[in-house]
Amino acid sequence: MADKDLRDLERYFRDPKLGDRVLEVGLACQACKNVRQALRALGFHGEFGQIDFSETYDVTLARHVLRFQEALKHTSRDGRFGPGTRRLLTRALYEQFGDSIFRRMTDPEQRGLGHIFVSYSRSDRARVLDAVHEIESWGFNVWFDGNISGGERWNASIQDKVQGCYLLLVFLSPKSVKSKWVQLEVMYAFQQSKDILPVKLDSLPSGHALEMVLLTRQMLDASKDGSSPAEEAEFKCALKTAIQVAHRRQM
């Protein structure tokens, strides 16, 4: 796993309200409970089967954090849980168990709450599906109408999904901006004051039907052919950041 992906997993041991603040005795949050679970899995917090649902950073947890710091020869061996210890614990946990163990924890950012609605043209399905899988790998829920035929697209179910989303992610191409279904979805989201994030897949015709609606929206560009790895990484980072901002606004 790339370092950026490991850094993303560090969120399990970081409270969104506290940011990078050091966890120490007296604090209470979901991240403290996850630290307990991680240390138990690695053998630094009692027996693996022992259940402890406490979200408080108490003296016992501090003692086990200290044991972990000493075992991994961390430069700060103080029983407090700062960015360096967070990084060490995330890497140690991933190297031993992979990412499956993180799915057994509660995500402090609660990325699984709510959903992103994806609006697109069928002709772009393959490219859109790649992006959907990437977003799902980040822990976000995506509503993608992959099994609905074109004639069935705009119905009460679609309307409910747009109304219930916290972000409409629209993939723009010459065909999608002409699609009456994409136009309906974007216009309905606009009327509902939903966050809308356009992603340009190809060069767009001037004066297309959605141009005025999307004029003031942040637009991400995925249209570059043969993008370098650095450009692709930059696009993914921008996409994830925009989704995180919309999700935090919902929360």
User: Where residue 146 sits, what CATH number does that domain have?
Assistant: 3.40.50.10140
The pLDDT, as a whole number, for residue 53 is 74
Residue at 110 is within a domain: no
Of 218, 178, 172, 222, nearest to 196 by C-alpha is 218
* 134 and 244 together in one domain: yes
The Cα 181–Cα 50 span in angstroms is 53
Does one domain contain both 166 and 200?
yes
Please tell me the predicted confidence (pLDDT) of residue 153. 56
CA distance 124 to 175: 8
Q: What is the pLDDT of residue 19?
A: 87
User: What is the mean pLDDT for each group of 10 consecutive residues in the chain (251 residues)?
Assistant: 85 91 95 95 70 84 96 96 97 95 92 95 93 94 72 70 96 95 94 96 93 92 80 92 93 77
* Total number of domains in the chain: 2
> Residue 83: what pLDDT?
95
Same domain flag for 95 and 127: no
Q: Which residue, 39, 31, 42, is CA-closest to 83?
A: 31
pLDDT recorded at residue 226: 62
Q: 89: buried, middle or exposed (CB in 10 Å: 19+, 13-18, 0-12)?
A: buried
Nearest to 202 by CA among 116, 123, 117: 123
Question: Which residue among 104, 135, 159 closes a domain?
Answer: 104
pTM over 0.85? The answer is no
Residues of the domain holding 41? 3-104
Residue 109 falls within a domain, yes or no? no
Shared-domain flag, residues 198 and 174: yes
